[in-house]
Structure 1
Amino acid sequence: MSASALKPLVLATAFALAASQSPLHAAQPKAAPAPVYDVGELDPSVSACQDFNAYANGKWIAANPIPADRTRWGAFDQLREQSLEAQHKLVDAADAGADKAAAGSIQQKIGWLYRSGMDETAIDKAGFDPIKPDLAAIAKLDDSADIVAWLGQAFAKGEGQGFRFGSGSDFRDASRQIAFAGQGGLGLPTPDYYTQDEHKDIRAAYVAHIARLFELTGVRAAEAAKKADGILAFETRLAQASLSRVELRDPKNQYHFMTIDEANKVTPHFDWAAFFKAIDVPAGDGFSLSQPKFFAQLDAMLADVPAAQWRDYLAFHAIDDASEYLSKPFQDENFAFYGQTLNGQPEQRARWKRVLEAVNGGMGQALGQLYVKEHFPPEAKARAQQLVDNVRNALKARIEGLEWMSDETKARALEKWSTFLPKIGYPDKWRGWDGLAIVPDDYFANVRAANAFNERYELAKIGTPTDRYEWHMTPQTVNAYYSSGTNTINFPAAILQPPFFYADGDDAINYGGIGAVIGHEAGHGFDDKGSQFDGAGNNVNWWTKADRERFEERTARLAAQFDGYVPLAGHPDNHVNGKLTMGENIGDLGGLSFAYDALQAAEGDKPDPMIDGLSRDQRFFLSWARVWRGNIRDKAQLVLLNTDPHAPAKFRAIGAPSNMPAFAEAFQCKAGDPMVRPDDQRVQIW
């Protein structure tokens, strides 16, 4: 799930109160709920039944323009900004005390990493000296054997190019970790950007960007332009062999287990045994060569693309990947293309935010330890567990009551439900950082050291048992996620606060916010992709043929609903991709439904409090809509329509409610109103 006020210290106190008062638990008495929803934000000139997003969020959107250093702004972004401010204080404090901190402590390492990134004078003085050894080594590659050897060395250091490589749960036996090699190597957002006419201006800008980066390293303009043209042609071949984002949603396109010998038959010019040796990982009985067609093309290019063109490709990506950590001209060029041209962002983010991003990339879980200590007491974790249990129970009841599913498939679904593992706030056991060498005065060296350290951490998992308790988001991340390979639902500390959860808010607000988020993540276990994995995380079919067909008939109607949404008035052909966003839309529809059921169970027969003239159910749906309030720049929206598995926020605000009779009843909507889907189009899956 993606998405993106009180002071953090105040929030910590509020969470502690939540744990003791348990305001969402129906069995416990509580004082009158505080008014945590501002009814002044509602637009009475718009009917909730006509456009629920405009009714709930239009006034706020008009009064809150997108900041110049951002591509979008909304509820998630506000909370992320709050998290950044909290983290800023933590890294400033770590920097101030780093020299006196215990040698090798995370406080010292975080402080020195942040300090080195803020030393713009030293970074500018170094220019591109930090990558000159890489460029010199690439310049010596004479043939495909040299290139293959270089790729192995690069991946071992966390600097791999051309494709993706890492660890993950085996689709056949999720109890173990294996290696996955997957398509990659592209500088533009998706393969379509290389072939479709609508993206020709972006392609031209990308070629210019490539040339400018080469020029910054001393290459003459004419030669730089020639190199750029060759790189675009190189990447276009990779793109033509790459699967689309929609195709990659299918587990069958994510996993192809092969022995080393079988993989070498696909890539006779790329020796996988030598590659595994170079990265110092045992090959075991094999690995997933996840997109064989892509790797067959990559291998063909090792045979027929001149070494000079390979050198240009590898050199460009070495420069491009490093540009954010080099001198100002490189940073500015990086922003000019990826920020301004591609996403329409007017201004670059403040230096401290960019360096903090690097700290999170290199030592995010370590920073999370400091964040949790300041902003998420243990009591909050216990309080959130109650909400998870309530919403999970609502999901169970939904499965048991399904009319379209056979008892055989229901039993399998309930078996999967019973093995859900909720993880809340932060890891029970923190990872260690011994062996990561950070110095106070060399930013690029520190970033590289962290990359190599984290790559080693990931590669070391290959061949080991899967750890269901490991986290793949930091506690300070405002987000949540479901993992099909471990059947876990995960809620970082930073999302467990307003506007998702209020310690002194009424049940309706909390279930419409964090309750729906919990339901959303649980719903991913039963979406179009998650439903192809069992409770152990294995990619196996647990459905009868007839039940699967009924499921897919319902999901097809949900895809058609979202295909009909067009976010930008000036771009009528750029609609939401219902298949790309399918999993998130199923998660929203199911999650909001589970949360609504949990609210009814929690409230029982208690009188409706009618807070600020709004009924309980109205406040529930308004809380949901408020989570998705926001605006986005047109360029950024166009990129996300091609790349993001989430629908635009304004359609998430209205999509799920329009399928729920409870919404129509809450706002007295009538058949024919835009927020009431006709019976033959209304979707209910879980």
Structure 2
Amino acid sequence: MSLPRTALGRPTLIAFALVIALGAPDAEAQRKKRAARAPAVSAECTDFYTATNADWLKKNSVPADAGSVSVLGAFRERTLEQQRALLDSAMRTPQGNVQKLLGDFWASGLDEAAVEADGSRPIAPLLDRINAIKKPKDVAPAIAALHQVGIPVAFNFSPDVDLQALDRHIGYFMQGGLGLPDPAYYTRTDADTRELLGRYRGYVKQVLALTGTPANRLDAESALVIDLETKLAQVSKPVVELRSPFANYAPVPTKDLGKQYRNLQLDAFLKAQGVSDDTVSLADPALFKRLDGLVGSLKPDQWKAYLRWRVGDAMAPYLAKPFRDAEFEFRGRVLRGEAAPAPRWRQVLDAINLAAGPMLGKEYAARYVPGDHKRRAEQIAGQVRDALGRGIERSPWLSDAAKGEAKAKLDKLKIEVGTPRRDLDYSVQPMGRGSFGGNMLIASTWRHREEMKRIGKGNADRRWDVLPQQPALAYDLAQNRLIVTAAVLQEEIFDAKQPAAVQYGAFGALVGHELSRGFDVKGRMVDAKGQLRDWWTPADVAAWNALGDKVVAQYNGYAFPVLKNVKVNGALTRDENLADLAGVELAWDAFASAEPQANAAAKQSFYKAWATLWAQNLTDTEAAQRAAVDVHAPGQWRANGPLTQQPSFAQAFACKAGQPMQANEAGQIRIWR
């Protein structure tokens, strides 16, 4: 494959032509001077990302209403359009019961006139249930009933992995029930926070008015809502303290909950959710004691105001325009910084993904992922897994003890492609096309029911935490499995029509990136038996940190695109950069093993496929935000960084050691090669 003439080569050629035209007085001296000059470095060996993506970068400027544009961003947008097309088809000519449900749901959301005519009727039964509260003992059953329809109030309750037995899920009782995203908003006294709280109270008043509070009671009832939420916030933990999974983990027997929390009636709550497990996690007993006390001490009218508000707020995006406008003005414009609501179809699609996402995922995979694509993806992923096995065996930095643990863990690693292996129960109340809000409640009740079924022994692998229609490759640390969603198995990432080199260079490298996470600084915390245990020795930790330090230094030297005098934060992006390097190493090994006779053009295609993934353009503002907080390096360095460490890349493009795209051999960083 001939290399294109490079931009860096042209000035030298032009200068030589000018010298000849002007008739230099000492042509022989000029010839000797040129001969001594170092040869020009090709574009591929200078900046492979820009050389590979030049046309794309030129043609794809950032839209006026966005902060970035990227290959993978456009890919995500196309998956949304695919979902839209699927739902349009299901609305017109549904194939089977699930499509009938989805088609009716979609039609009801797109019919804005019907949504306006429906007003607040979808939530009327919930409001009636709340308004029927007469005594403190009526509050807990109302809380349980709202959780059943997917509206968590007072606290959160959801399934998650049992950290002492990773093969099962248990229910987690956690703090929640607040309308603002952090408890600190209720307790800080600075001017900005006080102003935000004032705007929040205005929004509460709007929703209360829409849910039936008389005008002369709005000030009093909004004050009651803020007071109750403030009482909860005072005993809630800052969000930053809850990032560790252990912060929410404290298993307790369910048989004692009814006695310990008599007013909350947590035993009856679990029964209402369909949970019969003998253990739950309740890590903050002080919060739930406070809640229990508030149920018994606050007047029922205060709880009624709070519960009406929470229902109205949760359902506002799916009801008539006054609800939607109120919700967007505060949550959209103030909290999320959005300039305008999304198009109606996107709002409805988001709602369907929220409440009936697994239904849509089932149909999406059937429509867009042929069986042979799935089998090919599984084959490549399996070959990358085999490459990881070879990498573990030859690793110079892993101890023999850690290698044994790693190989045992790799032997048990599962690969799941397309959709989860275990399907759901799709028996759902018929939806019809008359009420979008009503359909939202039907669907969210179904999804809550299916989520509760995750709780119990042997259920941990029943579901994914990502939907099949969402583009994602992920390593599930708790279940030791690679998840490849149906949406991934298409152009840009995996195209079964492309040559093998392209499949390995893009999809294979991303698989390698994720698989490596099971055996790195995070993966070392779960062993082959699925137990939380550090299986590295101190020497392994030291060796990994040494590799990490080299990668930090490498990326610290890269200029952040668009920004002046700003470098990539190598420490912030370290773990992702290490995984990128591991991914390219493993994918190349898998490709070379599967295609030992690959020609020069195929080898180049492998690396071009990797670089193409990361094409992006950023605005100054977006780049500044990412430089401060993004754990991923910018696209240019995600593409180039790992390749500078690959001798096979240098061979494919005739790059010399010391050129920008090839580190000197003695200083090269290697993880699994």
Fold match, TM over 0.5?
Answer: yes
Greater mean deviation of Cα atoms: 458-467 or 185-194: 185-194
- Whole-Å Cα distance in 1 between the matches of residues 188 and 667 of structure 2? 35
Q: Which has the larger radius of gyration?
A: 2
- Whole-Å Cα distance in 2 between the matches of residues 571 and 312 of structure 1? 52
Task: Work out which of the residue numbers 234, 250, 253 in structure 2 matches 1:256.
Answer: 250
Task: Work out which of the residue numbers 156, 169, 181 in structure 2 matches 1:164.
Answer: 156
Task: Tell me the CA shift for residue 400 of structure 1.
Answer: 0.9
Partner of 2:290: 300
1:332–1:380 CA distance, 2 compared to 1 (3 A): same
Greater mean deviation of Cα atoms: 156-165 or 661-670: 661-670
Aligned positions of 1:116-131 closer than 5 A:
116-131=108-123
Q: Is the 8 A contact 2:475 2:483 kept in 1?
A: yes
Task: Work out which of the residue numbers 133, 143, 159 in structure 2 matches 1:151.
Answer: 143
Matched residues, percent identical? Answer: 28
- Whole-Å Cα distance in 2 between the matches of residues 427 and 139 of structure 1? 41
1:474–1:674 CA distance, 2 compared to 1 (3 A): same
In the alignment, structure 1 residue 620 sits paired with structure 2 residue 611: no
Greater mean deviation of Cα atoms: 403-412 or 658-667: 658-667
Partner of 1:459: 452
Task: Work out which of the residue numbers 79, 85, 88 in structure 2 matches 1:83.
Answer: 79
Task: Tell me the CA shift for residue 532 of structure 1.
Answer: 1.3
Task: Tell me the CA shift for residue 398 of structure 1.
Answer: 1.1
Q: Which secondary structure does the structure 1 equivalent of 2:166 belong to?
A: coil
- Whole-Å Cα distance in 2 between the matches of residues 200 and 420 of structure 1? 53
- Whole-Å Cα distance in 1 between the matches of residues 247 and 188 of structure 2? 23
Task: Tell me the CA shift for residue 591 of structure 1.
Answer: 1.8
In the alignment, structure 1 residue 668 sits paired with structure 2 residue 655: yes
In the alignment, structure 1 residue 214 sits paired with structure 2 residue 205: yes
1:682–1:190 CA distance, 2 compared to 1 (3 A): farther
- Whole-Å Cα distance in 1 between the matches of residues 71 and 291 of structure 2? 46
Aligned positions of 1:94-105 closer than 5 A:
94-97=90-93, 105=97
Partner of 2:425: 432
1:297–1:426 CA distance, 2 compared to 1 (3 A): closer
In the alignment, structure 1 residue 516 sits paired with structure 2 residue 509: yes
Aligned positions of 1:266-277 closer than 5 A:
272-277=266-271
Partner of 2:388: 395
Task: Tell me the CA shift for residue 678 of structure 1.
Answer: 12
Q: Is the 8 A contact 1:178 1:462 kept in 2?
A: yes
- Whole-Å Cα distance in 1 between the matches of residues 194 and 567 of structure 2? 18
- The one-letter amino acid of 1:452's match is T
In the alignment, structure 1 residue 177 sits paired with structure 2 residue 169: yes
Aligned positions of 1:184-583 closer than 5 A:
184-185=176-177, 204=195, 208-209=199-200, 211-212=202-203, 214-218=205-209, 233=230, 237=234, 240-244=237-241, 248=243, 250-253=244-247, 255-260=249-254, 272-284=266-278, 286-289=279-282, 292-293=283-284, 296-297=286-287, 299-300=289-290, 303=293, 314-428=307-421, 430-466=423-459, 468=461, 470-552=463-545, 554-555=547-548
Cα deviation per residue 1:508-541 (whole Å; 9 max; x = unaligned)? 4322211112112212322433331123433233
Q: Is the 8 A contact 1:257 1:288 kept in 2?
A: yes
1:179–1:638 CA distance, 2 compared to 1 (3 A): farther
- Whole-Å Cα distance in 1 between the matches of residues 7 and 423 of structure 2? 42
Q: Is the 8 A contact 1:487 1:536 kept in 2?
A: no
Q: Is the 8 A contact 1:422 1:489 kept in 2?
A: yes
* TM-score, scaled to structure 1: 0.76
Greater mean deviation of Cα atoms: 525-534 or 567-576: 567-576
- Whole-Å Cα distance in 2 between the matches of residues 59 and 257 of structure 1? 56
- Whole-Å Cα distance in 2 between the matches of residues 230 and 312 of structure 1? 11
Task: Tell me the CA shift for residue 120 of structure 1.
Answer: 0.9
* TM-score, scaled to structure 2: 0.78
Task: Tell me the CA shift for residue 495 of structure 1.
Answer: 0.9
Task: Tell me the CA shift for residue 449 of structure 1.
Answer: 1.1
- Whole-Å Cα distance in 2 between the matches of residues 189 and 62 of structure 1? 40
Greater mean deviation of Cα atoms: 61-70 or 621-630: 61-70
- Whole-Å Cα distance in 2 between the matches of residues 41 and 185 of structure 1? 59
Q: Is the 8 A contact 1:71 1:636 kept in 2?
A: yes
- Whole-Å Cα distance in 2 between the matches of residues 554 and 64 of structure 1? 36
Q: Which secondary structure does the structure 1 equivalent of 2:249 belong to?
A: coil
Gaps of 5+ in 2: 12-41
- Whole-Å Cα distance in 2 between the matches of residues 669 and 463 of structure 1? 58
RMSD over equivalenced CA pairs, Å: 4.7
Equivalent pairs counted in the alignment come to 633
Partner of 1:27: none
- The one-letter amino acid of 2:272's match is A
Q: Which secondary structure does the structure 2 equivalent of 1:609 belong to?
A: helix
Q: Is the 8 A contact 2:257 2:267 kept in 1?
A: no
Q: Which secondary structure does the structure 2 equivalent of 1:208 belong to?
A: helix
Q: Is the 8 A contact 2:509 2:584 kept in 1?
A: yes
Greater mean deviation of Cα atoms: 303-312 or 170-179: 303-312
Q: Which secondary structure does the structure 2 equivalent of 1:468 belong to?
A: coil
Task: Work out which of the residue numbers 108, 124, 131 in structure 1 matches 2:100.
Answer: 108
- Whole-Å Cα distance in 1 between the matches of residues 405 and 380 of structure 2? 24
- Whole-Å Cα distance in 2 between the matches of residues 139 and 222 of structure 1? 19
1:241–1:343 CA distance, 2 compared to 1 (3 A): closer
